[in-house]
């Protein structure tokens, strides 16, 4: 079992800022990218935090991410827009698109922006939260490399295709961010790093049969050999597989279809780009009535849910975004846990960027015989 070590939020933030600067990004761009990664770790979502640094490092190294790209608006109306990211870092394209959607919603009540030719943009919930923080309802979508096998299939055809929704409420917002596959690729990467077998209801082998072999599934995804991750609901219609598959298609509509971009089965099949697409929707509650009254109405219902009868052996009922709120408070105090194999990746990144690993992680010793962890890529 792989060990974890905790580091202060401020240290990891400083490390990311320095690393992205060394990779060629402007300081303001480093701030956006770092904020997305650190928010994920603070919320307790390890799969999209520090362990994602190596993906961006390798993407830049392979020429898939253009650090100098400037996302461009190629179609626009008063309420909608399409952005061509020109292979920019996904966080930068996503931030620009959501800012644009927010401006449109504040002027017209609704803002919808679709993005093509981008890259992995971190957690979708970051962008939904951007709108929520301004008193608006925010939604974010993204497709990705094909990892989800459609119901009754044996070839991955859709990405994890997450959908995130955030809405203002008290004492904490409604914040929901979930893939439409059972889990994300990042979750499989964590199991692979830890040397653990997958739960038998997560993934399919090249023949479309359930498997617990994380290295094999990841290799099949990269090699386009068949198999992948099940839709939300599993592999059978009896357990609701068609619902996760359908929600994955909803995500595809707002990401790749409206933008006229690459669908998930095409993403990451090119030598010089990933072709990932995103979608963003912002709604101003004021077009439905008094925003304060709507906020109160939602807050009261969320409290009813938390106060409703608890199942036998359960401690309490949570509402979406509540665990993340408390995770952030706790991890700010305790520090963010980082996987030993992720530390190996960070050491390799430091070597590549001529950064002093020991200066940041003083006293930490890499695992004996550690080399770059290549199992996920």
pLDDT at 374 (0 to 100): 57
Asked whether the beta carbons of 33 and 89 are under 8 A apart, the reply is yes
Whose CA is closest to 232, among 159, 305, 281? 159
Domain boundaries, the chain: 4-287
Whose CA is closest to 130, among 78, 172, 95? 95
Kindly list the distances between the CA atom of residue 225 and the CA atoms of 2, 157, 375, in Å, as whole numbers in the listed order: 28, 12, 16
Structure tokens at 153: 């299939």
Please report the DSSP string for 5-49 in residue order.
EEE-HHHHHHHHHHHHHHTT--HHHHHHHHHHHHHHHHTT-GGGT
Question: Could you read off the pLDDT tens digit of each residue along the chain, which spans 377 residues?
Answer: 678 999 999 999 999 999 999 999 999 999 999 999 999 999 999 989 998 999 999 999 999 999 999 999 999 999 999 999 999 999 999 999 999 999 999 999 999 999 999 999 999 999 999 999 999 999 999 999 999 999 999 999 999 999 999 999 999 999 999 999 999 888 898 899 888 999 999 999 999 999 999 999 999 998 999 999 999 999 999 999 999 999 999 999 999 999 999 999 999 999 999 999 999 999 999 999 999 999 999 999 999 999 999 999 999 999 999 999 999 999 999 999 999 989 999 999 999 999 999 999 999 999 876 665 555 55
- Count of residues for the chain? 377
The one-character DSSP state at 144 is -
Fold entry, domain 4-287? Ribosomal Protein S8; Chain: A, domain 1 (3.30.1370)
Taking the C-alpha atoms of residue 252 and residue 272, their distance in angstroms, rounded to an integer, is 22
Kindly list the distances between the CA atom of residue 264 and the CA atoms of 158, 170, 269, 281, in Å, as whole numbers in the listed order: 5, 37, 10, 20
List the alpha helices (DSSP H) in the chain: 9-22, 27-42, 53-61, 90-108, 124-132, 185-194, 214-223, 241-252, 258-259, 291-307, 322-334, 340-353, 357-360
């Amino acid at each position: 079992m792989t060990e974890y070590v905790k580091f202060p939020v401020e240290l990891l933030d400083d490390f990311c800022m320095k690393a992205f600067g060394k990779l060629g990004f402007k300081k303001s761009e480093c701030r956006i990218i770092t904020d997305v990664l650190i928010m994920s770790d603070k919320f307790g979502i390890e799969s999209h935090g520090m362990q994602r640094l190596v993906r961006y490092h390798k993407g830049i190294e392979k020429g898939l991410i253009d650090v100098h790209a400037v996302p461009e608006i190629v179609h626009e109306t008063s309420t909608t827009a399409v952005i061509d990211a020109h292979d920019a870092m996904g966080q930068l394209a996503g931030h620009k698109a959501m800012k644009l959607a927010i401006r449109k919603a504040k002027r017209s009540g609704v803002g919808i922006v679709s993005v093509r030719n981008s890259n992995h943009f971190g957690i979708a919930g970051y962008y939904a939260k951007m709108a929520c923080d301004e008193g608006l309802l925010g939604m974010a979508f993204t497709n990705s490399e094909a990892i989800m096998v459609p119901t009754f299939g044996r070839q991955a055809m859709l990405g994890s295709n997450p959908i995130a929704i955030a809405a203002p409420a008290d004492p904490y917002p409604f914040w929901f961010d979930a893939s439409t596959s059972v889990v994300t690729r990042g979750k499989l990467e964590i199991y692979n790093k830890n040397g653990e077998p997958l739960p038998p209801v997560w993934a399919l082998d090249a023949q479309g049969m359930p498997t617990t072999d994380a290295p094999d599934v990841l290799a099949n995804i990269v090699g386009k050999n068949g198999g992948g991750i099940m839709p939300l609901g599993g592999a059978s219609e009896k357990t609701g597989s068609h619902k996760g598959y359908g929600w994955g298609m909803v995500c595809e509509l707002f990401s790749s279809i409206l933008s006229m971009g690459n669908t998930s089965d095409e993403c990451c099949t090119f030598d010089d780009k990933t072709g990932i697409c995103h979608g963003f929707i912002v709604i101003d509650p004021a077009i439905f009535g008094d925003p304060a009254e709507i906020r109160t109405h939602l807050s009261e219902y969320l409290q009813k849910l938390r106060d409703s009868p608890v199942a036998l052996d359960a401690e309490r009922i949570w509402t979406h975004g509540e665990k993340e709120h408390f995770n952030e408070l706790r991890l700010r105090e305790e520090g963010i846990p980082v996987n030993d194999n992720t530390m190996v990746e960070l050491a390799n990144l430091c070597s590549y960027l001529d950064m002093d690993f020991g200066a940041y992680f003083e006293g930490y010793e890499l695992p004996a015989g550690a080399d770059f962890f290549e199992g996920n890529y």
